[in-house]
Amino acid sequence: MKLTVWTYEGPPHVGAMRVATGMHGLHLVLHAPQGDTYADLLFTMIERRGSRPPVTYTTFQARDLGADTANLFRSACRDAWERFRPAAMIVGASCTAELIQDDPGGLAESLGLPVPVVALELPSYSRKENFGTDETFLRLVRALARPVARTQAVTANLIGPVALGFRHRDDVAEVTRLLSGMGVGVNAVAPMGATPADLARLGAAHFNVLMYPEHAEAAARWMERELGQPYTRVVPVGVGATRDFLQEVGRIAGLPVRADESCLRLPWWSRSVDSTYLTGKRVFVFGDGTHAIAAARIARDEMGFDVVGLGCYNREMARAVRAVAAAHGLEALVTDDYLEVEAAIAAAAPELILGTQMERHIGKRLGIPCAVISAPVHVQDFPARYAPQMGWEGANVIFDSWVHPLVMGLEEHLLTMFREDFEFHDGAGPSHLGAGSHGPGGPPGPLAAAVGPASPAPARAAPAPVSSAVAAWLPAAEDELRKIPFFVRAKARRNTERFAAERGLAAIGVDTLYEAKAHYAR
Amino acid sequence: MTDPRPLAAGRGCRDTPVLKQRGQREVFCGLTGIIWLHRKMQDAFFLVVGSRTCAHLLQSAAGVMIFAEPRFATAVLEEKDLAGLADANAELDREVGRLLARRPDIRRLFLVGSCPSEVIKLDLQRAAERLNRQHAPHVAVLNWSGSGIETTFTEGEDACLAAMVPGLPSASGRSLIVAGALPDVVEDQMQRLLAGLGVGPVGLLPARRADGAPPVGPGTVVALAQPFLGETLAALERRGARALLAPFPFGEEGTTAWLAAIAGAFGVSAERFDAVTAAPRARARRAVAAAAGPLAGRTVFFFPDSQLEVPLARFLTRECGMRAVEVGTPYLHRGILGPDLELLAPGPVISEGQDVDLQLDRARAARPDLTVCGLGLANPMEAEGLATKWAIELVFTPVHFYDQAGDLAGLFARPLRRGGLLGGLAGGVMGGAPAGAAP
């Protein structure tokens, strides 16, 4: 048993839903108890879809358990076929149905439906949502894709985009444009927007662009092996990664690299003098492995930030994330326990978090600005405007969305200089974010006191007792501390306290503060 | 107590045959109630023993994450827990021990059963008894099931409240218990009205804190503030309490009838009743009149959601001038809803349970002006040009009693007003269907 409050990933059958909902002409029949239909609202509310996910649930109840749940599944499956007439079906079980072992695959097969029916194995008690997307797509590809003649012109499949993905809609458009610039056409995009017939002719492409390893790596490997299609390893998020991606496409396709960077603004925006203030900003990166790796590279090489933490919640990507973290001189944080993530962020005291919606909430509590870089998603992650993460425009979007939460340029200096100003103080928050934004000067969350490097994560839920070893702050030192910019104040406080504790000081004065500053100066 | 509205002829919809279909039920499970129960009971913690799906539901159901230190969590069953129940119990004891050590402020711990825990027959009642012995008297450990195989949406609250009834202290004299979790502001308004009538002592179930648990006994009268509390009512009756059946306190008429039933049981004079209710009644009527304009003459179709559907249909048809096409409810408790059914004019289809595809076909055929449905259906219906009201808002928002009557009408009127405001967006420069809704 594992105690969980918030989760980064849903169960694997939600992954299957994301594949089915992304596609057209495919229907998922899910053996699941009443109540599991809540998952529909992820698509209709968060993604604002204007149609129901193509999913039929058996919604069995207690009285059915004593009777015949297998028959219930059979009739749900037959009714779904009758009503929706899909070109292919997938069948599976949610966590509860997995326990009653009705074998949806076998039951569906016994119906003799006139379309391909693909059975899914979704082990709910050991795997999670991303496994569900990857596995479902693999099963579909294995069942439907056949060796076919390659297209005459050089084409690629874009694989990995699914429903409820972080900016997948716009990434597809951006990558299509990049490939078109190289003279590479798109054979199929899958799962998003694909029909079962499109999956059947995946083999016509010369290679695969693996956009999201989380959702399509298993299928990419299978197609490489069975259909002889190489696939791209570089995910084109960021300027450097996009250039590397185009090089890789050139190598695979045997084409010269051609790219139109005329609309790419990130490099100049980042070099222009207003951005000087970004130099060395301490950022903490956490998300799914793919986006976290990409963000770390952009943060260091394209924004001039200092990456002080890097991690991912999906263990499938642990190895890759650990390698990148090591290159940044960090130890990767691989966990799906948000309390651990919160403690690690508090300990690192970054000036900016690049994370998921979960980290956005952590940032709110800690008073640290946050830009979202990855799923899990929220309704805000489906903007009406074009907002890709990949390619040149993706880089532009990333520059804006990472810089936006920060206090900008000269404003930062003015805040520091005129700290006592009654309306221009750091507690008011960045002026461009409006009255609703709270600067971190507001009421400190329980974390401000409770989280130090030594306090274990589970202690966070309780108002943890403040360590008795902490030296007392003299009023003058408290005043001086308040003059330090808010985003480093917590760190300054902690460093000073550690400094005092190491020296056995009972009280912290102004001098102690500056002694500690000199001691810890980088 | 003069009432300008004519009573529905005869017995209203009380004897209307109920349409029952079996198919996919697009409803929440009872765990969803934890979203509001954990805010209501400030010293209680809800520990769901279930799967990752349960945890995912709790974080998704409200459409938002309530990040402020939730007093709920899920003990997610893993493969090794399924292999041996003895180990699962040991794991549960350990997790509860850690949890309570971390949260010394918790006085009530609910072990909440789920679909997987029921199917593997993890006996949470015995677990609760065992843990109660370990953690008494500081913490009372109770259990209930919010599983989808046992409960539909608001039935979770029913199961939770019913679980508390055996532990309520005994009462000897006359008292009133109002059952059903209400927003604090609404509860306070109700207390003022009851105090004005001289009715008391008044106990609330659930109480905000453990030490406020209402005593119950043969002199206790129970008024339900929510219609979905059948099990709770039966449990209170087993403790000797007497049920007071009345229309539910939605709108001016429902509130007056509900209070009148209590006033009758406590022998409040007509003069006093009028003196206490006259001003708020007039206020409620004015507020409803101000908000209900867009509703008059319009049709409404209820998909099953919370069991509030019948009383709300009564309010919309009798106080807001709407016409009900279908009133779907997950479960129709004829005894509890009898007074509301009697006030509902014959005409609408009354349906219980659901085959969602068939019900959608009926709604598309009827093209109601307003469809009250769950979050999974709302945007798809809107994309088909049908205005909708999310049903879940009706259990999350203060809607009971006089001073919320106008707000309640406003909740239903807003989608129609919005449709009017945005009318110019339809079509497009080239004409044709509205753009933007993803397929």
Q: A393 pLDDT exceeds 90?
A: yes
Token match 């000073």: residue? Answer: A496
Residue type, A300: R
Cβ distance A33 to B29 less than 8 Å, yes or no, reads yes
Q: Please count the other Cβ atoms lying within 10 Å of the Cβ belonging to residue B27.
A: 28
Round to whole Å and give the CA distance between B412 and B288.
11
Which pLDDT does position A429 carry in this prediction? 55
pLDDT at A457: 35
Q: B69 to chain A: nearest residue by CA?
A: A461
For residue A460, is pLDDT > 50?
A: no
pLDDT digit string, tens, across residues A92-132: 999 999 999 899 999 999 999 999 999 999 999 999 999 99
**How many angstroms separate the Cα of A248 from the Cα of each of A207, A212, A296, A471?**
11, 16, 20, 57
Give the model's confidence band at A183: pLDDT under 50 very low, under 70 low, under 90 confident, else very high: very high
Q: Does B381 touch chain A (CB under 8 A)?
A: no
Residue to mutate among A21, A27, A41, A83, with most B CBs inside 10 A, is A41
CA distance A179 to chain B (A): 25
Q: Is A186 helix (H, G, I), strand (E, B) or coil?
A: strand
The reported pLDDT for the residue numbered B68 is 58
Mean pLDDT, to the nearest integer, of A450-461?
33
Model pLDDT, residue B437: 57
Half-sphere exposure of A286 (CA within 13 A, CB side): 35
Instruction: Please say if A274 is a catalytic residue.
Output: yes
Q: Which of A37, A55, A83, A438 is the best mutation test for B, with the most CBs of B within 10 A?
A: A37
CA distance A208 to A228: 10
Structure confidence at residue B1 as a pLDDT band (50, 70, 90): very low
Kindly determine whether residue A3 and residue B55, on different chains, have CB atoms separated by under 8 Å: no
Domains and CATH numbers, chain B: 18-25+286-414 (3.40.50.1980), 30-151 (3.40.50.1980), 175-283 (3.40.50.1980)
The answer to whether the peptide bond before residue B206 is cis (omega within 30 degrees of 0) is yes
B53 and A6 in contact by Cβ < 8 A? Answer: no
**In this predicted structure, what is the pLDDT of residue A410?**
59
The token duo for A33 is 């108890």
DSSP letter string, A64-90 = HHHS-HHHHHHHHHHHHHHHH--SEEE
Burial A339-359 (b: 16+ CB within 10 A, else e): bbbbbbbbbbbbbbbbbbbbb
SS3 at position A438: coil
Whether residue B435 lies within 8 A of chain A, CB to CB, comes out as no
Query: What whole-number distance in Å separates Cα of residue B393 and Cα of residue B313?
Result: 16
The pLDDT, as a whole number, for residue B128 is 96
Across the range A153-172, mean pLDDT stands at: 97
- Please list every residue in chain B whose beta carbon sits closer than 8 Å to the beta carbon of residue A360: none
How far apart, in whole angstroms, are the C-alpha atoms of residue B361 and residue B349? 14
pLDDT tens track for B283-325: 999 999 999 999 999 999 999 999 999 999 999 999 999 999 9
User: Is the predicted pLDDT of residue B23 greater than 70, yes or no?
Assistant: yes
Residue A40 pLDDT greater than 50, yes or no:
yes
3-state secondary structure of B220: strand
- φ and ψ of A274, to 5 deg: -60, -30
Decide: B34 and B67 in contact? Cβ < 8 Å: no
Yes or no, beta carbons of A79 and B120 under 8 Å apart? no
Q: Give the pLDDT confidence score for residue A368 in this predicted structure.
A: 92
> Are A50 and B29 a contacting pair at CB < 8 A?
no
Cβ neighbours of residue B85 closer than 8 Å, sequence gap 6 or more: B120, B121, B122
How close, in Å, is residue B77 to chain A by CA atoms? Answer: 5
| Residue in A431, A382, A375 with CA at minimum distance from that of residue A406 | A431
Largest CA distance in chain A: 83
Confidence band of A412 (pLDDT split at 50, 70, 90) = low
Compute CA distances A26 → A22, A29, A147, A200, whole Å: 9, 10, 21, 13
By Cβ distance, the residue of B24, B27, B63 closest to A45 is: B63
Q: Omega before A12 cis (within 30°)?
A: no
Instruction: Find the helix or strand (DSSP H, E) in which B325 lies.
Output: strand B323-329
Which of B78, B149, B382, B393 is best to mutate for the A interface (most A CBs within 10 A)? Answer: B149
Cα distance from B62 to chain A (closest Cα, Å)?
Answer: 10
- Residue B75: strand, helix, or coil: strand
C-alpha–C-alpha distance, residues A300 and A369, integer Å:
18
Give the H/E segment covering residue B317. helix B309-319
- Which helix or strand (DSSP H or E) is residue B323 part of? strand B323-329
Tell me the residues of chain B between 186 and 215 that have a Cβ less than 8 Å away from chain A.
none
State yes or no: pLDDT of B6 exceeds 60.
no
Q: What is the pLDDT of residues A275-296, one digit of tens each?
A: 988 999 999 999 999 999 999 9
| pLDDT at site A422 | 52
Mean pLDDT of A182-203: 98
Judge contact between A426 and A415, C-beta under 8 A. yes
**What b-and-e string marks burial along B74-100, b requiring 16 or more CB atoms within 10 Å of the CB?**
bbbbbeebbeeeeebbebbeebbeebb
Residue of A21, A26, A44 best to disrupt the B interface, most CBs of B under 10 A: A44
Evaluate if residue A465 carries a pLDDT over 50.
Answer: no
DSSP B134-195: HHTTT-EEEEEE--TTT-BTTHHHHHHHHHHGGGSPB--S-EEEEES---HHHHHHHHHHHH
* CA dihedral over A511, A512, A516, A517, signed as positive or negative: negative
Give the range with max mean pLDDT: A56-70, A148-162, A354-368.
Answer: A148-162
Please state the pTM of the whole predicted model. Answer: 0.90
Q: Which helix (H) or strand (E) holds B221?
A: strand B220-224
> What average pLDDT score do residues A476-486 get?
82
Compute the residue count for chain A.
Answer: 522
Mean pLDDT, to the nearest integer, of B392-401? 91
Contact criterion met (CB < 8 Å) for B148 and A59: yes
**CA–CA distance, B127 with B23 (Å, rounded to integer):** 35
Report the pLDDT averaged over residues B13-32: 95
Q: What is the pLDDT of residue A3?
A: 87
CB contact under 8 A, B31 and A35: yes
> Residues 37-56, chain B: which have Cβ within 8 Å of A?
49, 51-53, 55-56
Computed over every residue of chain B, the mean pLDDT equals 92
Tell me whether residues A7 and B152 touch, CB distance under 8 A: no
Averaged pLDDT, B263-268: 97
Rg (CA), chain B: 23
Inspect the interface and report whether the beta carbons of A44 and B376 lie closer than 8 Å. Answer: yes
- The fraction of chain B above a pLDDT of 70, given in percent, is 93
The H or E element containing residue A26 is strand A26-31
Query: Which chain B residue is nearest to residue A382, measuring alpha carbons?
Result: B438
The pLDDT of residue B368 is above 70: yes
| Cross-chain residue pair B29–A38, CB shorter than 8 Å | yes
Least confident of A28-42, A178-192, B16-30, B79-93: B79-93
* Active-site position among A79, A260, A274, A421: A274
Burial (CB < 10 A; 0-12, 13-18, 19+), residue B416, is: middle
pLDDT level of residue A433 (50, 70, 90 thresholds)? low
In which band, very low, low, confident or very high, does the pLDDT at A421 lie, cut at 50, 70 and 90? Answer: low
Chain A nearest C-alpha distance from B352 (Å): 15
- Digit-coded pLDDT (tens) for B25-58: 999 999 999 999 998 999 999 999 999 999 999 9
- In the numeric block, which tokens belong to residue B424? 């110019």
Nearest-angstrom CA–CA distance, A346 and A152: 55
Strand A185-190 and strand A155-159: the pairing is parallel
The tens digit of pLDDT for each residue in B98-147 reads 889 888 999 999 999 999 999 999 999 999 999 999 998 999 999 999 99
Q: Does the pLDDT at position A420 exceed 70?
A: no
pLDDT band at A446; cut points 50, 70, 90: very low
Give the burial class of A422: count Cβ atoms within 10 A of its Cβ; 0-12 exposed, 13-18 middle, 19 or more buried. exposed
| Predicted confidence (pLDDT) per residue in A242-262, tens digit | 999 999 999 999 999 999 999
Reported as a pLDDT band with limits 50, 70 and 90, residue A274 is: confident
pLDDT in tens, B348-365: 999 999 999 999 999 999
Q: Which of B298-312, B336-350, B422-436 has the lowest mean pLDDT?
A: B422-436
* Contact assignment for B116 to A95 by CB distance below 8 Å: yes
| pLDDT, average across residues B201-224 | 96
For chain B, the farthest-separated pair of C-alpha atoms sits apart, in whole angstroms, at 75
Cα dihedral A188, A189, A191, A193, rounded to 10, equals -100
Mean pLDDT of all residues belonging to chain A:
89
At A42, the pLDDT band (50, 70, 90 cuts) reads very high
Inform me whether the pLDDT recorded for A468 exceeds 70.
no
User: Each residue of B52-73: pLDDT tens digit?
Assistant: 999 999 988 765 555 556 789 9
Instruction: Give the range among A386-395, A431-440, A470-479, B4-13 with minimum mean pLDDT.
Output: A431-440
Q: B432: which 2 tokens? A: 């044709």
Beta pairing partners, A107: none
The pLDDT assigned to B70 comes to 79
Task: Give the residue from chain A lying closest to B384, CA to CA.
Answer: A50
Q: What is the mean pLDDT of residues A452-480?
A: 57
Model confidence band, residue A419 (pLDDT cutoffs 50, 70, 90) = low
pLDDT of residue A482: 84
